Structure 1
């Protein structure tokens, strides 16, 4: 389920958002998703 979320949000929406604070959207999102799964 989390992998599906990474693909849909990270790739599709992340390409539209661009960079945030010098990080790509996927790099920005991964730590939060890891902490949510703990």
Structure 2
């Protein structure tokens, strides 16, 4: 759990960045969604 505790701030930052992209950059969000989800 120590690793998770060290990585948590980065996970939080990544979530914020992804949220920002989804809110202001729908096209980029769609590309990220394809890469992460592997869907259409």
Q: Specify the TM-score bucket, using the shorter chain as the normaliser.
A: 0.3 to 0.5
Which has more helix, going by share of residues? 2
Which has more strand, going by share of residues? 1
Q: What TM-score does the superposition give when structure 1 sets the normalisation length?
A: 0.38
